[in-house]
Structure 1
Amino acid sequence: MVARRSIGRGLTAIALTSVSILPLLWGQANAQMVKIVGIGASSCQYFARETNGKPEVEKNFFAWAQGYMSGLLLRAPPGKDEDLDLEPALLPLLKQAEFLRNFCDRNPDADFSDGVIELYKTLRAPPS
């Protein structure tokens, strides 16, 4: 599966989990198109169809999501998201998987990676 994402000038994609959506999170302009790859680069419709009643397949999608968010965290500029916890007590892994399922249920025409971006934003600003 391949999806296209915008990135700001000067950013490069990394292997396995592309951090191509950093500008979406930090508002950079002058975008170019790059490809993200892997199981998570598919649509929410594909995610829903492929994971229906198959927890092992859903684990694969979630593992991709964790790697993608880890890549975002690694590529964040100095001072940005340095203390971000990708597994906070208020949003443990099972709740994060539920977040992604709910996102795709509400947004079947979106990409699964869009849900991962929303999850990352939620982790950046957890509910108080």
Structure 2
Amino acid sequence: MLAPGRAAVRLFSVTALSVTIALAVDASHDLRAEDRKATIVGLGAATCSAFNDDIRSNPVIRRDYLAWAQGFMSGILSSRPPGVDEGLDLAPATFDVMRQLLFLEDYCARNDSLDFSDGVAALYKRLRQEGKT
């Protein structure tokens, strides 16, 4: 039989281990959660619907949305791990900024309920394909 002090230490250790395992499982669940999305700020945090309305009522604002998109894609590119998307040209001659703007307009016209940033992510993927051709 264990001495009273040793039993208390053993019970505390088992309890601490159980809590640690429960927290680790909960944390790993949070890391796998796919419904979580980063908080996007700035003009590009708009929905596609708002983007569509904005460019219809004020065509000059297209430039501001495009500038936001270029910054957002630059952020994506700079956050990539070494060896991923190295050398990716975000403004290739074969897919210049005007063509990128038209891509975003088309994307949002077809996906009114999505976010403008979703369109920018799709454009980024498209530019990755452009670099492979």
TM range (shorter): 0.7 to 0.9
| 1:55 to partner: Cα distance | 2.8
The size of the alignment, in residue pairs, is 102
Matches within 5 A, 1:53-72: 53-72=57-76
| 1:30 to partner: Cα distance | 4.6
Q: Larger Cα Rg: Structure 1 or Structure 2?
A: 2
Work out whether 1:45 is the aligned partner of 2:49. yes
The percent of aligned pairs where both chains have the same amino acid is: 43
**Structure with higher helix content:** 2
CA offset digits 1:43-93 (Å, max 9, x no partner): 000000011152321111110000000001111101011110001111000
RMSD: 1.9
Distance 1:105 1:69 in 2: 20
**Which gives a bigger RCO, structure 1 or 2 (Cα 8 Å, sep 6+)?**
2
Q: Which runs of 5 or more structure 2 residues have no equivalent in the other structure?
A: 1-26
CA offset digits 1:80-116 (Å, max 9, x no partner): 1111000111100000000000000010001000000
Aligned partner (choices 79, 100, 108) of residue 75 of structure 1: 79
Summarize the Cα distance change of 1:68–1:108 in structure 2 as closer, same or farther, 3 Å threshold: same
